[in-house]
A and B are shown apart, each in its own frame.
Chain A
Amino acid sequence: MTTTAVDGNAAAGALFEAYGREMTLVVATCTACGQAGPVAETVAYLQAPGVVLRCRRCDAVLIVAVAHEGGTVAHECSVRLPGGDG
């Protein structure tokens, strides 16, 4: 199966599991290039082992959400999220 990029809104489910709330309208700021916009507008790869969100401008990895037995854990990479999540 080829790996194809979709929009961050397609990752809404995995992000909800990780954060316990709807995340797609949250503004994510890329700490690599400064691009800021809703999580829904990032580039999402859903077919990796886990969900990978990348910056639409510079391709930096913003968030990796991985499902474990106990639930989904989000690893924040080059990203700043409001409200102390980053």
Chain B
Amino acid sequence: MVDLIDESTHVRSVVLDLPDWAGHRAGQHVDVRLTAKDGYQAQRSYSVASSPEDGQVVLTVEVLDDGEVSPYLAGELQVGDQLELRGPIGGYFVWTADLGGPLQLFAGGSGVVPFRAMLRHRAAANGGVPVRLLYSARRLEDVIYRDELGRLAANGESDIRFTLTREWPDPWSGYRRRVDREMVEQVAWSPDDRPLVYVCGPTGFVETVADAMVELGHDQATIRTERFGPSGG
């Protein structure tokens, strides 16, 4: 581990230097395994937050109070410590530039992590593919990669919209509620644009969005989901 970055109040990025890393595709995971002195093992799967072109591998970890792995990764782990990882893994929730677009991304909470890898990969591939992202968070302080996403939105590179579900700054021009079908319809590409759709977040968020997209006429086969449950550990 070579660096630790605070992303929001409960979220930290762990920057890893992996000399033998074979490279990954945007959206893939790694499994992190921790072994206690008594041999007890705990393992969790984390999305890679960095793009294949970034050089270093970054994991963004939401610290869960009752978690077994996240408090260690984002709290006790020190720069210079070693971690046991396996990956990259997963071939399903993956986007590579050659798949084209347009891209339609829906993120709930830390579900934005694989999308940072996709957005950076897209930028490294000289942009081109139009992208829309709807990102749902409880409050502005919980928005991960706020500066980076803000820059992408401000320079017109990407269409990024936010919805905050609990607290709103004043003024606030984004949405102020949980995602629903009307919101999905307003932000999403039309089925005629044949977007590639990726939805990542807690189960309820993913199901609301995926069901709305199917009702709006999107082909189920173009919708890829990644549910991480209310807690990831």
Assess whether A7 is interfacial by the CB under 8 Å rule: yes
Whole-angstrom distance between the alpha carbons of A22 and B88 in the complex?
A: 10
By a CB distance below 8 angstroms, the chain B residues around A46 are: 45
Tell whether B226 is near chain A: CB-to-CB under 8 Å.
Answer: yes
What is the CA–CA distance of A21 and B132 in the complex, to the nearest angstrom? 33
Of chain B, the residue at the smallest CB distance from A45 is: B229
Instruction: Determine whether the beta carbon of B93 is less than 8 Å from that of A13.
Output: no
* Residues of chain A within 8 A of B45, CB atoms compared: 10, 12-13, 46
Kindly state whether residue B203 has any CB partner on chain A within 8 Å.
Answer: yes
Q: Which residues between 1 and 34 of chain A lie within 8 Å of chain B, taking CB atoms?
A: 1-2, 4-7, 9-10, 12-13, 16, 22, 24-25
Q: Does A86 contact B (CB under 8 A)?
A: no
Contact: A6 with B66, CB < 8 Å? no
With both beta carbons as reference points, the residue of chain B lying nearest to A3 in the complex is identified as B229
B177 CB within 8 Å of chain A: no
Task: Give the residue of A1, A2, A6, A22 whose beta carbon is less than 8 angstroms from that of B89.
Answer: A22
A63 to B52, CA, bound (A): 32
A7 engages B29 (CB within 8 Å): no
Residue of B nearest to A44 (CB): B227
Question: Would A13 and B92 be within 8 Å (CB), given that A1-B233, A4-B203 are in contact?
Answer: no
In the bound complex, CA of A77 to CA of B231 (Å): 27
Please tell me if the beta carbons of A4 and B92 are within 8 angstroms of each other in the complex: no
Interface of A: prevailing SS: mixed
Q: Number of A interface residues at 8 Å Cβ cutoff, please give it.
A: 19
Known: A13-B45, A13-B86. A6 touches B228 (CB 8 A): yes
State whether A4 touches B229 (Cβ < 8 A). Answer: yes
Contact check, B93 vs A9: say whether CB atoms are below 8 A apart.
Answer: yes
Q: Number of residues in B with C-beta < 8 Å to the partner?
A: 22
User: Is B90 located at the chain interface by the 8 A CB criterion?
Assistant: yes
Interchain nearest-CB distance for B104 vs A (Å): 18
Contact A5-B227, Cβ < 8 Å, known A10-B45, A12-B45, A13-B45: yes
- Looking at A9, A25, A41, which has the most chain B CB atoms within 10 Å of its CB? A9
Query: Is there a chain A Cβ closer than 8 Å to B43's Cβ?
Result: yes
* Contact present for A24 and B227 (CB under 8 Å): no
Q: How far is the CB of A53 from chain B (nearest CB, A)?
A: 13
Asked if B230 lies at the interface with its beta carbon under 8 angstroms from chain A, I say yes
A residues less than 8 Å from B225 (CB atoms): 7, 41
Query: Across chains A and B, which 3 residue pairs bring their CB atoms closest together, nearest first?
Result: A4-B229, A40-B92, A13-B31
Q: A4-B230, A9-B226, A12-B90 are in contact. List 16 more A-B contacts (CB 8 A).
A: A1-B233, A2-B230, A4-B231, A5-B229, A6-B203, A6-B228, A9-B29, A10-B45, A10-B226, A16-B86, A22-B90, A22-B91, A24-B91, A24-B92, A25-B91, A40-B91
Offer 14 A-B interface pairs, CB within 8 angstroms, sorted by A. Answer: A1-B66, A7-B93, A7-B227, A9-B29, A10-B228, A12-B91, A13-B45, A13-B86, A24-B91, A24-B92, A40-B91, A40-B93, A41-B92, A46-B45
